[in-house]
Structure 1
Amino acid sequence: MQFISHQDQHLTLSDTAKPQLKTNEVLIKVAAIGVNRADCMQRQGKYPAPQGDSPILGLECAGTVIELGTEVDQSWLNRAVFTLCADGAYSEYVAVDAAQLMALPRDLTMAQGAAISEVYLTAFGALFQLGKLQAGQTALIHAGASGVGGAAIQMAKRIGATVVITAGSDEKCEHARALGADHVINYKTTDFVEYMQHHQLTANVIVDPVSGRYLNKNAEIAAMDCQIIMLAFLDGRFAEVDFARLLQKRISFHASTLRNRSQAFKRQLRDEFVAMFYDDIANQRFDFNIYETLPWQQAMQAHEILERNENAGKVILTVQ
């Protein structure tokens, strides 16, 4: 099969053998691939695959099941699916744990399917598993125009929460508003703490891929018993923390990643997400927030879009 190899930070099409299936796995003929910042970091040598995962890039895809492991239900054969992958999605074929598959609804394209798994499951875990977000509460979502941000906005609004986002341009703010955000803050021109204090807003749940200097700022506008979920540290690895404020408000701080979670965790996450939001996906109540779709021969250009922080939403590769 062909796959996209990465060497010396460059991406090129290469050839390798098809994956060998484990008993619990299916083989997917890949039609579309979601591009994520983790892919860029892995290409740069900063984020190696967890032990036992495929060395090939790619954390999510959509495609058609063409082969089954011996323990897999026969009903999956020849079905269109979208799914998380334990790496390996940048290829013509990928082996995936069958318990993590989600059936692609008839009216969705493969590109739309490839835009869902990583960002929606990440946002779902942050907002609902860790954040315990409820109707009537307020969620603050940093990087609100990102793929995860767009998914978080829509799910939070779906359950009746108020959504505040930050983003780095007026255009990205308007994009987030179109997805349902109630308050949009361009962090380059407006301090989000001042904005929220002026509008008498406090956050019950904060989804934060920025961290660094944002930790103390988040604490300033946190509600009592706020849940802060750190997904990345774009502002840097280290920060001074005002522990008195954290204690005063009984703030809980979670550092969360999805890629290195156990198979059992990912299966449960998938099941809870499907139970709560699959009907919304099937009925296209969500915008799947695709910024650009490129042929997989242009994978390097796709990475450059993310590295320039150009995109509002997902970048998708189609396998041709």
Structure 2
Amino acid sequence: MRAVTAPTPGGVDALRVVDRPIPEPAPGEVLIRVTAAGVNRADLLQRQGHYDPPPGATDVLGLECAGDIVAVGDGVTDLQPGEHVCALLSGGGYAEYVAVPAGQVAIAPGGVTLTESAGLMEVAATVWSNVFMIGRLQHGETLLVHGGGSGIGTMAIQLGKAFGATVVVTVGSEEKAAFCRELGADLTINYREQDFVEEMAKADLRADVILDIIGGKYLASNVAALATAGRLVVIGMQGGVKAELNLGALLAKRAAVMATSLRARPVSEKSAIVSAMVAQVWPLVTDGTVRPIIHATYPLEDVQKAHQELEDSSHVGKVLLTLA
């Protein structure tokens, strides 16, 4: 089967389409014939040599996919060959076939095509687990999302609004700001020209939950933007891994700072996240309240172009790879 690896870390030219054996589903797994796979920033980090797969995971890139089940391993009873599904992966999505634990697989939701559903699992699981399960966002609270035009950002806007929150986002251009407002964002802040703490203060807003992909660079500002009893959830480190934290400021607000990742969690935890996400998010996808925002699709052979588009941050929403 065709599959994409990066045998030597580097730029987009490090990506290679190679031939690999079709995997066999182990007990508790299903084998999926992939229709499309989502491209995520974590894939760029893996290609660059900064984000190794978890122990035992394939070196084939790709953290989410959609397709058809073609075989099931021993012990799998709730999924059957022929079903249209999408899956949350530890790796292997950039390939014609992938084997994945059954608990990380969901029947594809109604209201979207199977290809579009390839852009749902990673962003929906990330937002649901971090904003709602960890951040405990409640109706009437304020959610601040950094990177509002990203796949995660566009999903966070929609889910935040669906559950009754005021949503603030930071973006890098007016084009992205306008799109985020169309999705329902109440306040958009251009981080290239504006200070998000100052702009939120002008709007008389404080964040009950912050979903942060930046890390160190934004730590002090994020704490300043928090409301009393606010929750800062850090899921990325694009702005560095180190910063000085004023514990006094955190203490005064009785606030919390948490950092999480999804890929390396045990199967049991990822399965619980997928189950909760499907119960809460899939009905909103089916009725059109929430939709995957697909910026572009590329055939697998054009994986270098797909990575370059994500690296340039010119996209709004998701970039997908499709397999014939």
Alpha-carbon shift at residue 106 of structure 1 (Å): 4.7
Q: Distance in 2 between matches of 1:257 and 1:133?
A: 18
Which residue matches 1:79? Answer: 83
Which residue matches 1:186? Answer: 190
The CA RMSD over aligned residues, in Å, is 1.2
Q: Distance in 2 between matches of 1:107 and 1:134?
A: 26
* Cα offsets for 1:183-223 (capped at 9, x unmatched): 10001111111111111101100000112231111111211
Of residues 241, 255, 258, the one that matches 1:254 is: 258
For the 8 Å contact 1:179–1:287, the answer to whether it is kept is: no
Which residue matches 1:68? Answer: 72
Distance 1:13 1:247, change over 3 A: same
Q: Secondary structure at the match of 1:190?
A: coil
Of residues 217, 233, 238, the one that matches 1:229 is: 233
Alpha-carbon shift at residue 122 of structure 1 (Å): 0.4
Q: Distance in 2 between matches of 1:107 and 1:200?
A: 37
Whether 1:196 and 2:200 are equivalent positions in the alignment is: yes
Q: Distance in 2 between matches of 1:38 and 1:142?
A: 16
Structure 1 unmatched runs, 5+:
none
Q: Distance in 2 between matches of 1:110 and 1:179?
A: 22
Which residue matches 1:119? Answer: 123
For the 8 Å contact 1:32–1:319, the answer to whether it is kept is: yes
Q: Scaled by the length of structure 2, what TM-score is found? A: 0.96
Which residue matches 1:238? Answer: 242
The one-letter code matched in structure 1 to 2:142 is T
> Following TM superposition, where does structure 1 have runs of at least 4 consecutive aligned residues deviating by more than 3 angstroms?
none
The one-letter code matched in structure 2 to 1:200 is D
The one-letter code matched in structure 2 to 1:4 is V
For the 8 Å contact 1:111–1:293, the answer to whether it is kept is: no
Q: Distance in 2 between matches of 1:3 and 1:235?
A: 31
Which residue matches 1:296? Answer: 300
Q: Secondary structure at the match of 1:128?
A: helix
Aligned length: 320
The one-letter code matched in structure 1 to 2:294 is I
The one-letter code matched in structure 2 to 1:54 is T
The one-letter code matched in structure 1 to 2:163 is I
Q: Distance in 1 between matches of 2:131 and 2:275?
A: 16
- State the identity as a percent: 39
Structure 2 unmatched runs, 5+:
none
Q: Distance in 2 between matches of 1:75 and 1:274?
A: 15
Q: Scaled by the length of structure 1, what TM-score is found? A: 0.97
Which residue matches 1:174? Answer: 178
Alpha-carbon shift at residue 76 of structure 1 (Å): 2.1
Single out whichever of 170-179 and 255-264 deviates more from structure 2.
Answer: 170-179
